[in-house]
A = this chain, B = another copy of it.
Amino acid sequence: MKIKERLFTPGPVPLPPEVIKALGQQIIHHRTPEFTQTFLAVREKLKQLLKTDKAPILFASSGTGAMEASITNFFKKGDRVLVINAGKFGQRWRDLAKTFGLKVIDYEIEWGKTYDKKKIVEITEEFPDIKGILVQHSDTSTTTLHDVDYLAKISKKLKDCILVVDGITSVGVYEVYPEDIGIDVLVTGSQKALMLPPGLSILWYSEKAEDRLKKSNIEKYYFSVLAESKKQEKGQTAYTPAINLIIALNESLKLMLEEGLPQLAKRHEIMALATREALQELGLKLLSQSPSNSATGAYTPEGIDADSFRKVLLKLGFRVAGGQDHLKGKIFRIAHMGYFDVMDMIQVIAGVEFALLKTGVPVELGKGVKKAQQIINQYL
């Protein structure tokens, strides 16, 4: 039977019609007043998104580009940093920091768990010279949320430390206001909660971080924050910008701000809660002990290979993500960020039920859906 394909991966994510329309336009030139006007409008909207007077800068790159810029612009060779390494993207912080000559304290954490506050205190007491704490706010590889408020407090107590947060899958899912929280460098990317195709990354930095820009002795050119910030303040970019993504970002930010940031966060919370509760109702074990609202990961039942299960789900039209590295074949992940609403979650849970039955797991059809409906109904 013919079934539509539905994308439920935690990036790329489905796009809103307004974004698709904006992308499907003839290109305009970037050295024009027309583009500058749009670019400045995007900066204003990004300031609202982050509740700050200081606009972030944009790079034509995927999120990893902005992560690299966070290392190369705000540190000096030999600086000691603490990496909260609790998943695939924690590893990326570590690898980036090492690549550019930083001394890394690699705090490895079991995937699906978050950091231990005591351990953080111990490390920072042992190494008071830490120049930066690098963390994922939400790590989709483990569908885990890491408390950044606590790390901000710790960072402030240290002599000269900045908190660098990968918010690639948290900005737009949560209310992430870096000044309120005490984040010094915040990066995000286009293909997640911003509901755009990949190719655009965003970097915000605090005044404290700004002081470091001129002191940094790490080589960089394309990802030079100083070069870009001077240009971008005037509505231009140092190098060719991702023109159509910026035009589309103007549309997606409009949608997000119109919905309201607290409402946006609440909706993601409800979608995630309904999904988590429904999967557990079906007897599945969640991957994370500190689950993020950007995506939900769950183990398939004993004896069911998660990648085979995902193939069954895909035949039913639902494309979800699998596990990475040692979680490969063990888990599947369903996105909540993207152009989704609560009714989409009902659909994917129904899909999971069909797929479980098809792989021989004796579930009661409708049990998970009912649970999700009961939760959703409280907020309708």
Contacts and interface: CB of A to CB of B under 8 A. Distances in A.
Given A267-B1, A343-B3, A343-B317, A373 B358 contact: no
Nearest to A380: B354
A377 interface: yes
A357 B342 CA distance: 17
Interface in A309-326: 316-317
A282 interface: no
Interface string A341-380: 1111011001101100110000001100110011011011
A303 interface: no
Contacts of A317: 341, 343
Given A343-B4, A373-B350, A373-B353, A380 B365 contact: no
A1 B365 contact: no
Contacts of A6: 343
A341 B380 CA distance: 25
Pick the most buried of A24, A270, A373: most chain B CB atoms within 10 A of its CB. A373
A69 B379 CA distance: 52
B343 A369 contact: no
Contact of A380 (B1, B263, B347): B1
Interface residues of A, number: 37
A2 interface: yes
A237 to B, nearest CB: 29
A266 interface: yes
A4 B1 CA distance: 26
A160 interface: no
Nearest to A351: B343
A3 B341 contact: yes
Contacts of A259: 2
A259 B1 CA distance: 8
A1 B263 contact: yes
A248 to B, nearest CB: 16
Interface string A238-259: 0000000000000000000001
Interface in A1-25: 1-4, 6, 24
Nearest to A339: B4
Q: Which 5 A-B pairs have the closest CB atoms?
A: A366-B370, A365-B373, A3-B341, A2-B259, A346-B350
Given A1-B341, A24-B24, A357-B377, 15 more contacts: A1-B263, A1-B266, A1-B342, A1-B380, A3-B341, A4-B339, A343-B347, A346-B369, A347-B347, A354-B376, A354-B380, A366-B369, A366-B373, A369-B370, A369-B373
17 contacts: A2-B267, A2-B341, A3-B343, A4-B341, A4-B343, A316-B343, A316-B380, A346-B346, A347-B347, A354-B376, A354-B377, A354-B380, A357-B377, A365-B377, A366-B373, A369-B370, A369-B373
